[in-house]
Amino acid sequence: MATSLDATASQGTLVYPDTLKLPRRRYALFNSMRPARKSTGIALSGGGANGLAQIGILKAFEEEGIAVDYIAGTSIGAIIGGLYSCGYSPSELEKIVQTIPWESIISLNTDYARSNIFLEQQQIRDRASIAIRFNKLKLLIPKSLNSAQKITGKLDILTLNALYHSSGDFSSLPVNFKAIATDLVSGMRVSLSSGSLSEAMRASSTIPILYEPIIQNNFHLVDGGLVANLPVDELEIFNADYKIAVDTRGSMYATGEELDLPWKTMDQSMTILTKLQYPAQLAKADIVITPDLSNHKATDFSNINALIEAGYAKGKAEALKIRQGIERKSLPATAIKYYSKKSLFEHNNPQLEPIIAPILLKATDLNKTLQELLATDLFTRVFAELNKENKTVLFHLHPLPAITTVTLVGGPQNIVSKEEIDECFQPVKGEFYTNTTATKALENLISKYRKRGYSLVTIEKTTIERGLLEITLSSGKPGGMNIRSDKHLTKITPITREIKIDSTQPLNILKAEESVDNLYETGVFNRVSISAEPPDASRPDRNHHLWFSLEEKPASVLRLGLRYDETNDAQFLVDIRNENFRGTTSSIGGWLKTGRNGSRANIELSIPRIGSSHLTMSSRIFYDQHVFEHLESTGNTNNYGIQKYGINHAFGTRIRKNGQFIADITFQNAQFYGEKSSVAELGNSNSTMLSIGTQFTLDSRNNALIPTSGSCTNIRYSLTTALFDNHDLFWQVSGNHEKNIRLTSKVTFQLSGLFGLSSNNMLPSEKFFIGGAGTTYSQRFIGLKENALPCNNMAAAGMQLGYKPTFEILFPTSLFLHYNIGNAWEQMDNISVSSLMQGIGTSIILETPVGPARLTISKIIPFPEQNHATASPASKLSETILYFSIGHTF
């Protein structure tokens, strides 16, 4: 960075200023000279939530004009530093971290959104308490408690939609960046400075146990805080002249009771480790910035604004000291106090004279004056012509050329309006502008494209001629799409059909996000990542290529379920299947449920999508036997059983992932038998039947039992022929609908309705059942016992108000109020409003590890004017009914 005396002209000596020699990596109209200063590096520590204070420090630095050339970050410091390095401003980072669901990212909950997975997968997962995966009959112990897909997806999209993309090496970003990770196998420190920026940030922040290690170049990478929580020595490798250490490590937990979660224990362990690392690292820093975080815990993301403000205040307080520290020592003075000083502009710019004149008037040292002229940021080039004989100095100044008009060439068409373009470049139109203003204008233009989702649009070149600024944009199209898979289990068609990106069109970030979600929600991938990477040097195109990185799950899964309820006592479920049969994402397997009152067994093949189409198909062989308690008109109960076995085949089309419209055919034997003699009201039957039907199902609920959003609709029609056993032809049509409305973050309102209509000659085994809290066999009607009313026809409507309190009773707790109205009828002629009954109830549900534990207190409330002679027998039972269950419904 030394000033040089480059040449001696006939009029005198040409003197050039001391300039910053670091490459300019932001958009700029010209590669202009910049005043000399020390190169500045920041080491950003880990610290969980406390690391968000780093945003405030960066914000203070920008306001104080402190430029950052290098960042080495660990854990949360790698995330903040990585995003800042690729062009996000501190203000943008502040908004981003406010929208990230930190609590869910570090929770043990599944990353799957139930509403977005295949309907068949919803049904499988809704009934199981635990899932165990196998690989060739070898039990696989999970390596982590969370797949990290949420943080992966968030960082991928942020990186893809950043202003700047890496050309393969992070030194090509506006701020040269490194992320520090730990190889879990060798214990070595691994500095990540190339490849996928998103993956580097994830690797550095991968908490062991909570997240699975990132495998890269045979390293198993986890949180860098294990070996270098504050990597100041990496700034030495950068050759940074001035090194700033930002220490945001969390305080330790004071009692054992506070260590109630796995990641809190891990955070405590890492805090202990950092105590051993810090002395040597702090000694290497020119300044250490430690925000006042008042013993804030690393796992507490509840008050982000206060954390950022603490960092901002500390950054402001240290700014003067840092500015003084990064000043480059002046070169030996060249006195020009008594020299005649003039300026010569490359172009005639009289409007700059009032700015330059005061600088020249007070000039006493040539080198300092050149630095002051460069510091105005108005010039692309500055040098002086010194004549010691005549005692004159002529300052040669190359101002930025005037801009009157801006045009765009290339890029996606009609995305940014002329008015928006003018708005971006208004600050550079007119008499004069600075290099910084020009850079900001160019970045604002690209930001317009980013906000509309065009992630790959870049500025390829700029030219200015006679006031016309012409900006050439890239097409924004990906150079190609590539897929890398770790196990190569899944075939290419099930992958490509989920990718919604057209490589012949400019990439839109929404399509990229949709494609990642689609792939992940097939259920066969543990993690899905997308990145934009530069093409190989051998490729002729310059456009970034999209890479989908797929981490596949072992296909064999054993699921287990446990349930107890007051009607059926203990029940047990075993479900074993291959969920990626022959790499098609199809499922083949079977499940068995057994309990005191019955058993069910299924062997089934499910093809959610046939090839790349939206057609779907399934086949199953089933056995179902169940014993019911029947309430007779006398008020006595009688037991009877239903047994069915047969085969079902369905074919139809998908309606999004969570819906389908199918036609099916069922061939079965159905038996109805009484365990006691008195079943005269229902009769006995043993029939072989062939039924055809059609069914529409759409389920967008986020939870089957405790939904806070979404709806569920199911409508079915079936016709049973008279081909076998000489029974009459009969039909059924039924439907139910449930709509969940979130009133506040804690309160949900649900509306529901159901109906069923049948032929009058229905066999007992095919009747509807209504009563109880809702099971596989019986439709929900709060106030009646489970399976209370077998019927040919039914109708009911209900309301439910749910509240999730801030307190927990051992487990996450929800409270509910229920109301429903309806009834059941044998003959359609008997359906009447006067026979309706109503039930009320209240429930408490605890979300336990084996499934929801539910206790409901309910009661039938007769209408005051109701004629009890025409009312249902069940409505005469005014006793309070309790329902209790623990475990999922199956």
pLDDT, tens digit (0-9, with 9 covering 90-100), for 604-616: 999 999 999 999 9
| Residue-level pLDDT at 258 | 59
| Residue-level pLDDT at 540 | 57
How confident is the model over 850-881, as pLDDT tens digits? 999 999 999 998 887 655 444 444 444 558 89
Over residues 796-811, the mean pLDDT reads 93
> In the numeric block, which tokens belong to residue 423?
């708005």
| Residue-level pLDDT at 636 | 65
Q: Are strands 525-533 and 40-44 parallel, antiparallel or unpaired?
A: unpaired
Helix (H, G, I), strand (E, B) or coil at 328: coil
* CB-based burial, 353-362: b 16+ in 10 Å, e otherwise: eeebeebbee
Who contacts 414 (Cβ-Cβ below 8 Å, separation ≥6)? none
| Amino acid making up residue 230 | L
What's the CA gap between 327 and 18, in Å, rounded?
12
Q: Are strands 70-74 and 40-44 parallel, antiparallel or unpaired?
A: parallel
- Residue 303, pLDDT above cutoff 70: yes
What's the CA gap between 112 and 125, in Å, rounded?
11
What 8-state DSSP symbol labels residue 563? Answer: E
Query: In this structure, are residues 41 and 70 in contact, taking their beta carbons and an 8 Å threshold?
Result: yes
What's the CA gap between 791 and 52, in Å, rounded?
61
| Residue-level pLDDT at 346 | 82
Residue with tokens 């085969």: 647
Cβ atoms within 10 Å of 584's Cβ, excluding its own: 18
Say which range, 97-111, 482-496, 576-590, 809-823, has the weakest mean pLDDT: 97-111
| Residue-level pLDDT at 864 | 74
The CATH fold of domain 5-18+332-399: Ubiquitin-like (UB roll) (3.10.20)
- Residue 3, pLDDT above cutoff 50: no
- Residue 699, pLDDT above cutoff 80: yes
How confident is the model over 180-204, as pLDDT tens digits? 999 999 999 999 999 999 999 999 9
How confident is the model over 766-801, as pLDDT tens digits? 999 999 999 989 999 999 999 888 899 999 999 999
| Residue-level pLDDT at 208 | 83
Average pLDDT, the chain: 89
| Residue-level pLDDT at 678 | 46
> In the numeric block, which tokens belong to residue 430?
């007119």
726: confidence class by pLDDT, cuts 50, 70, 90: low
The CATH number that domain 40-111+148-325 falls under is 3.40.1090.10
Over residues 481-488, the mean pLDDT reads 92
Q: Considering the entire predicted model, what is its pTM?
A: 0.87
- Residue 144, pLDDT above cutoff 80: no
- Residue 637, pLDDT above cutoff 70: no
First to last CA, the chain: 74
Say if 40-111+148-325 and 481-552 have the same CATH topology.
Answer: no
- As a whole-number percent, the residues of the chain with pLDDT over 90 amount to 69
List the chain domain ranges.
5-18+332-399, 40-111+148-325, 405-473, 481-552, 556-886
Q: May I ask the CATH class of domain 556-886?
A: mainly beta
Q: What is the CA radius of gyration of the chain?
A: 36
> In the numeric block, which tokens belong to residue 454?
């065009």
Closest listed residue to residue 624, CA positions, set 644, 608, 640, 638: 644
Angle at 445 between CA 439 and CA 448, to 5 degrees: 140
Helix (H, G, I), strand (E, B) or coil at 639: strand
| Residue-level pLDDT at 251 | 64
- Residue 735, pLDDT above cutoff 50: yes
- The phi and psi torsions of 616 (rounded to 5 degrees) equal -135, 155
Who contacts 226 (Cβ-Cβ below 8 Å, separation ≥6)? 182, 187, 208, 270, 273
Most confident option among 341-345, 521-525, 643-647: 643-647
Which CATH superfamily, name and number, covers 405-473? membrane protein fhac (3.10.20.310)
260: confidence class by pLDDT, cuts 50, 70, 90: low
Closest listed residue to residue 782, CA positions, set 711, 715, 861, 714: 861
Query: In this structure, are residues 185 and 110 in contact, taking their beta carbons and an 8 Å threshold?
Result: no
What's the CA gap between 206 and 199, in Å, rounded?
10
| Residue-level pLDDT at 280 | 86
Pairwise pLDDT comparison (674 vs 666), residue with the higher score: 666
What's the CA gap between 155 and 33, in Å, rounded?
35
How confident is the model over 31-89, as pLDDT tens digits? 999 999 999 999 999 988 999 999 999 999 999 999 999 999 999 999 999 999 999 99
- Residue 330, pLDDT above cutoff 90: no
The CATH fold of domain 481-552: Ubiquitin-like (UB roll) (3.10.20)
- As a whole-number percent, the residues of the chain with pLDDT over 70 amount to 90
Who contacts 669 (Cβ-Cβ below 8 Å, separation ≥6)? 644, 645, 646, 686, 687, 688, 689
| Residue-level pLDDT at 863 | 80
137: confidence class by pLDDT, cuts 50, 70, 90: confident
Say which range, 10-14, 188-192, 340-344, 511-515, has the weakest mean pLDDT: 10-14
Pairwise pLDDT comparison (451 vs 729), residue with the higher score: 451
Angle between helices 76-85 and 197-204 (to 10 degrees): 160
Helix (H) or strand (E) run with residue 124 in it: helix 119-126
Helix (H, G, I), strand (E, B) or coil at 589: strand
| Residue-level pLDDT at 64 | 95
Query: In this structure, are residues 576 and 591 in contact, taking their beta carbons and an 8 Å threshold?
Result: yes
What's the CA gap between 790 and 782, in Å, rounded?
16
What's the CA gap between 372 and 504, in Å, rounded?
50
Closest listed residue to residue 175, CA positions, set 48, 280, 293, 40: 40
Angle at 886 between CA 884 and CA 890, to 5 degrees: 105
Angle between helices 149-160 and 509-520 (to 10 degrees): 160
Cα 329 to Cα 1, 242, 326: the distances in Å are 11, 13, 9
Query: In this structure, are residues 475 and 506 in contact, taking their beta carbons and an 8 Å threshold?
Result: yes
